[in-house]
Amino acid sequence: MAHYAWPRRITPWWLEREYMVGDNGIVAELERAARRFAVWAWINVGIAVVGGFLTLATYDAASPGESYVVFTGAIVFGPVFAIINAVRYFRTRSHIDKVKAAVRSSGPAGRSVPDQAAPRPADSYSRHPLLVFNPPPGWPRMPEGWRPGPDWEPDPFWPARPHGWNLLVDPALRMTPVDLSGDLHLGLPAAVTKGRLDEVADRAADAIAWQVCTAAGQRNEDPLTTLGTAREHIRTAVQKAKERIYSKLLADANTWVQESQGSIHHWEAALQHTRMIMENREAFDARAHSRINAVISAAVAPPRQEAPAPAAAAAGPRVAPQREHAAGKKKPDAAGLTLLVVSSILGILIIVSGVISQNGSSAAPGIDPVVAAELDGKTDWFPVGDFYAKWVPESQYTCNGTAACVELSVQTPLSEGCMKVNAVVDMLQNGTVVGTYHGNAYNVLVGEERKLHIEAFPGVEPDEVSLNRLTCLD
């Protein structure tokens, strides 16, 4: 069954807005989980209803007195799991509402460099690193750890920043491009780890993102706009970057595999390492495009607040929009849950009422107790299902001299009788069945005897006849 574990607490206010509400953010992930829960809820309702109808179908197909299949698991557990997934769905929707309310209540952040950083909570350093200086294209690189002060102004001779550019970003999202003007030599394949390949892939993606931002600065437009209009060029650049990273590395790795065939252990190690490099190469495109989108989005997204005033975190207005939004969603959520539960219960009631009605209809004709008692008291009559039968002793195994035949007398204690009774007999010779034949009697009414004739094919000479079954073919 589909399962999703939502966060134990709402995302803190100081996380980036894009991290919460972007295409790959918490809200998007929760939305996907909610859709899965809703789909599974309705699937389980369908399983319960189908199980009920299949039960009715097998009940109808079974002859009176015979057993039939009851799909208990589908009828019982279908509604149970439907309700479980419905509860998960609405809990997930509640978390989505809380995250969105937290984003709205935190307010938009400014795009300029903060003048002064307020005291930062001590426990937040390990959870979220300090923002770092993010120079735009054309600006000089500053020493590691340098941050602009409250009175700092950029050199007027430096190029203008691209539209919407932030001077502070998270360290993991700052562009650190690598030189892609030639092939990248990473050393011997045996010394190249997956972590090293991932790092080089990110740096190569940063180089492509840097070129996009440079073009945006020259056009004086938002880098995201430039990114949207240069998708084809970016795909070409990603392919070229992949070749420059992996072409020589894979060639050296293949040579290493060939040279290691003299030792099975060395050959297996070389082959496994080469496979890792090839898998990393296959994943490069997706990783590069994701990195390019992430670093450019971070460069122009509203920066998170590093140090809000202590009163802001505890202020009542921050929670008020959340409660208001949740209240607005409460009624449709409750209506949806009610609809789902009522549908499940209604399906079960339809199934149960169908079984009851079927039981009632099959029992309605009933058995005439007087006729049944009378037939039970006759030793020459024997019960066969809903009928009683008696062999007719005259002319047994003789018919017209060329074929064997047999006759039966039949009666039924069924109140409604039977329009057509079909008898099937096995004819045996020395204990072996030499043929199975049938005959019919019509208009068999309760308490009335009817004779039934069964004739074999010519040439069949049985020494014993056994009654196989008697069936009402109404």
pLDDT tier for residue 474 given thresholds of 50, 70 and 90: low
Distance CA 396, CA 9 (A): 88
What pLDDT, on a 0 to 100 scale, did the predictor assign at position 238?
92
Mean pLDDT of 181-187: 79
Structure tokens at 26: 């918490």
Alpha helices in 260-368 (DSSP H): 264-282, 284-300, 310-314, 320-363
Q: Indicate the Cα dihedral angle 218, 220, 221, 223, nearest 10°.
A: 50
**In whole angstroms, how far apart are CA 147 and each of 26, 89, 141, 272, 451?**
30, 45, 12, 44, 109
**pLDDT digits 0-9 by tens, 201-250:** 999 998 898 888 888 888 888 888 888 888 888 999 999 888 888 888 88
- Over 80: is that where the pLDDT of 292 sits? yes
Q: Exposed, middle or buried by CB within 10 Å (0-12, 13-18, 19+), for 82?
A: buried
**What does the alpha-carbon distance between residue 406 and residue 271 come to, in Å, rounded to a whole number?**
81
pLDDT beyond 60 at 57: yes
Contact 408, 452 (CB under 8 A): yes
CA 111 – CA 222 distance, rounded (Å): 13
Alpha carbons 49 and 217: distance in angstroms, whole number:
62
447 vs 276, higher pLDDT: 276
Burial class (CB in 10 A: 0-12, 13-18, 19+), 172: exposed
Residues 357-373, mean pLDDT to the nearest whole number: 63
> Which DSSP symbol is given to 124?
G
Write down the pLDDT at residue 347.
63
For residue 43, the model assigns a pLDDT of: 92
- Tell me how far apart the alpha carbons of residues 45 and 74 are, in angstroms, rounded to a whole number: 9
C-alpha dihedral (235, 239, 244, 245), degrees to nearest 10: 90
CA distance 296 to 22: 14
* 408: its two tokens: 């039966």
CB 271 within 8 A of CB 292: no
Summarize pLDDT for 89-128 with one digit per residue, the tens: 998 888 788 777 765 554 443 333 333 333 444 444 445 5
pLDDT at 63: 67
pLDDT at 266: 81
- Inform me whether the pLDDT recorded for 423 exceeds 50: yes
| Structure-token match 């015979």, residue found | 66
pLDDT, residue 398, reads 53
Q: Which residues pair with 467 in a beta bridge?
A: 425
Q: Which of 37, 124, 50, 138 is nearest to 82 (CA)?
A: 37
Interval 125-147: pLDDT, tens = 445 567 888 888 888 888 887 88
Using DSSP bridges, classify how beta strands 387-391 and 168-169 pair: parallel, antiparallel or unpaired.
unpaired
Over 70: is that where the pLDDT of 319 sits? no
Distance CA 304, CA 108 (A): 9
Are 211 and 239 in contact by the 8 Å Cβ rule? The answer is no
pLDDT of residue 174: 84
Looking at this protein, which amino acid is placed at residue 369?
A: P
Beta carbons within 8 Å of 253's beta carbon, 6+ residues apart:
189, 270, 273, 274, 277
Q: What is the distance, to the nearest Å, from the Cα of residue 451 to the centroid of all Cα atoms in its chain?
A: 63
Residue 70, class by beta-carbon neighbours within 10 Å (0-12 exposed, 13-18 middle, 19+ buried)? middle
| pLDDT band (50, 70, 90) for residue 10 | very low
**């009683």: which residue's tokens?**
388
Distance CA 84, CA 283 (A): 37
How would residue 401 be classed by pLDDT, with cut points 50, 70 and 90? low
Rounded mean pLDDT, 258-274: 82
Does residue 72 or residue 350 have the better pLDDT? 72
pLDDT, position 60: 78
Identify which of 405, 403, 400, 407 has the alpha carbon closest to the alpha carbon of residue 457: 403
Residue 350 has pLDDT above 80, yes or no: no
Q: What is the pLDDT of residue 437?
A: 87
Within 8 A by CB and 6+ apart from 83, the residues are: 41, 340, 341, 344
Average pLDDT of the residues of the chain: 75
Confidence of residue 353 (pLDDT cuts 50, 70, 90): low
Beta strand extents in 412-460 (DSSP E only): 418-429, 432-444, 450-458
Tokens standing for residue 308: 């809000």
- The percentage of the chain sitting over the pLDDT mark of 70, rounded to a whole number, equals 72
For 206-210, 351-355, 416-420, 449-453, which range has the lowest pLDDT when averaged over its residues? Answer: 351-355
Rounded CA-CA distance 416/421 in Å is 13
Q: Which tokens sit at 17?
A: 């807005």
Determine the pLDDT at residue 26. Answer: 67
Q: Measured in whole angstroms, how far is the alpha carbon of residue 253 from the centre of its chain?
A: 39
pLDDT of residue 325: 43
